């Protein structure tokens, strides 16, 4: 075989190798991330579950004690307050942020002047971390330097706005701050949904003489119903994992009035050295997330299959 023949035959040999590398490239790129995600989610979850069934204290040990840590956890008054706060916060936080977000989305959907500026203003809180938000709002709630001091300085000496300092109302200070932080996120999703509705539906309703309120109530909002569910699920995840907002705003106080499960888990594991009970608390938080995410995942799969069947 001549050198000319060897040169001509080289691409024919190299092409299959390049094709195999090209087909394997997605796996090579995604493989490490998928492996890390598997270890981080499933392996560590399994390890945490086992630790929650062990007699671990300051360091992990593997003496099996069954459900003793869970029994001790639920017998603890602070944990019960933390779980009650979670449900109270989640309910008001989700409804409040979705309501404010929807109202803002409807207002911006009216093609107001300076729409881009308003969108930026309403979305700005989302760009700020919960630590920063909690710190700034703690200043506002401070009775000596915040809103209360400012209003009293204007002459209203009986005005009171020390929510974060009052054991009875501190949880509502956390709720108000959380709603302020997350309403812009809900607004963005609702606005995207409203803008995606077929304009022919709106024109048909207008031709029938429907008012703007009726168009939203009968046409637009029912059309974007799946977005309501998606926003609610995402907000529930934020609520269950709430830690930094409370840590910066109230530090779980006054007393234990704003303790949340994540705050309590941190306290058990890193302050008290009770790793076994802390792991049990973490598993209970995971269970709360699963109660939300698993049904939602099944619903998404069912909806896609239904749409594929109709398609």
pLDDT digits (tens, 9 = 90+) for 20-68: 777 777 777 788 888 888 888 888 888 889 988 988 887 878 888 888 9
Say whether pLDDT at 234 is over 90.
no
| Distances from the Cα of 245 to the Cα of 67, 83, 172, 195, angstroms | 31, 16, 13, 32
Predicted pLDDT at 187:
92
Tell me the pLDDT of the chain averaged across its residues.
84
Query: Running DSSP on this structure, what letter comes out for residue 30?
Result: H
Task: Take residue 96 and report the two structure tokens written for it.
Answer: 């409040």
Q: What is the largest CA-CA distance in the chain?
A: 103
| 27-38 confidence digits (pLDDT tens) | 777 888 888 888
Task: Take residue 263 and report the two structure tokens written for it.
Answer: 């705050």
- pLDDT confidence tier of residue 225, bands split at 50, 70 and 90: confident
Query: Running DSSP on this structure, what letter comes out for residue 141?
Result: H
Q: Which whole number is the average pLDDT over 229-238? A: 86
Domain positions in the chain: 18-52, 78-310
Task: Take residue 262 and report the two structure tokens written for it.
Answer: 């994540």
- pLDDT confidence tier of residue 311, bands split at 50, 70 and 90: low
| 255-270 confidence digits (pLDDT tens) | 888 999 989 998 888 8
CA–CA gap between residue 291 and residue 311 (Å, rounded): 31
Q: Could you count the other beta carbons within 10 Å of the beta carbon of residue 260?
A: 27
Predicted pLDDT at 177:
92
Predicted pLDDT at 13:
47
Q: Which architecture, in CATH terms, is 78-310?
A: Orthogonal Bundle (1.10)
Predicted pLDDT at 109:
87
Residue 44 CA, chain-centre distance (Å), reads 21
Say whether pLDDT at 155 is over 90.
no
Predicted pLDDT at 5:
52
Residue pair 182/238 in contact (Cβ under 8 Å)? The answer is yes
How open is the CA angle 44-46-52, to the nearest 5 degrees? 100
**Lowest-confidence pick of 92-96, 111-115, 229-233, 248-252:** 111-115
Which of 18 and 73 is assigned the larger pLDDT? Answer: 73
Predicted pLDDT at 80:
92
Which of 58 and 182 is assigned the larger pLDDT? Answer: 182
Say whether pLDDT at 204 is over 60.
yes
Say whether pLDDT at 102 is over 90.
yes
Indicate the Cα dihedral angle 161, 164, 165, 171, nearest 10°. 120
């Amino acid at each position: 075989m001549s050198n000319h023949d060897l040169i001509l035959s080289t691409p024919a040999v190299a092409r299959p190798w390049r094709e195999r590398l090209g087909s394997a490239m997605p796996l090579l790129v995604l493989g490490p991330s998928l492996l890390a995600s598997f270890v981080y989610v499933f392996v560590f979850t399994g390890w945490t579950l086992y630790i929650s069934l062990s007699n671990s204290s300051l360091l992990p040990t593997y003496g099996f004690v069954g459900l003793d840590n869970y029994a001790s956890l639920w017998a603890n008054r602070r944990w019960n307050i933390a779980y009650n706060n979670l449900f109270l916060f989640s309910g008001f936080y989700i409804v409040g942020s979705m309501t404010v977000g929807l109202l803002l989305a409807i207002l911006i959907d009216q093609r107001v002047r300076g729409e881009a500026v308003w969108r930026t203003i309403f979305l700005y809180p989302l760009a700020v971390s919960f630590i920063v938000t909690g710190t700034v709002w703690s200043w506002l709630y401070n009775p000596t330097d915040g809103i209360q001091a400012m209003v009293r300085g204007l002459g209203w000496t009986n005005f009171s706005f020390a929510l974060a300092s009052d054991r009875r109302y501190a949880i509502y200070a956390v709720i108000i701050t959380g709603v302020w932080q997350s309403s812009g996120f809900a607004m963005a999703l609702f606005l995207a949904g409203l803008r995606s509705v077929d304009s022919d539906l709106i024109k048909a309703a207008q031709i029938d003489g429907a008012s703007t309120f009726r168009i939203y109530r009968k046409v637009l909002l029912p059309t974007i119903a799946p977005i309501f569910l998606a926003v609610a699920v995402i907000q529930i995840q934020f609520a269950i994992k709430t830690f930094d907002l409370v840590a910066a705003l109230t530090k779980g106080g006054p007393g234990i009035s704003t303790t949340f499960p994540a705050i309590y888990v941190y306290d058990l594991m890193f302050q008290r050295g009770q790793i076994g009970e802390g792991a049990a608390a973490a598993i209970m938080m995971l269970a709360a997330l699963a109660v939300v995410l698993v049904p939602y995942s099944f619903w998404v799969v069912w909806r896609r299959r239904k749409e594929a069947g109709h398609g």
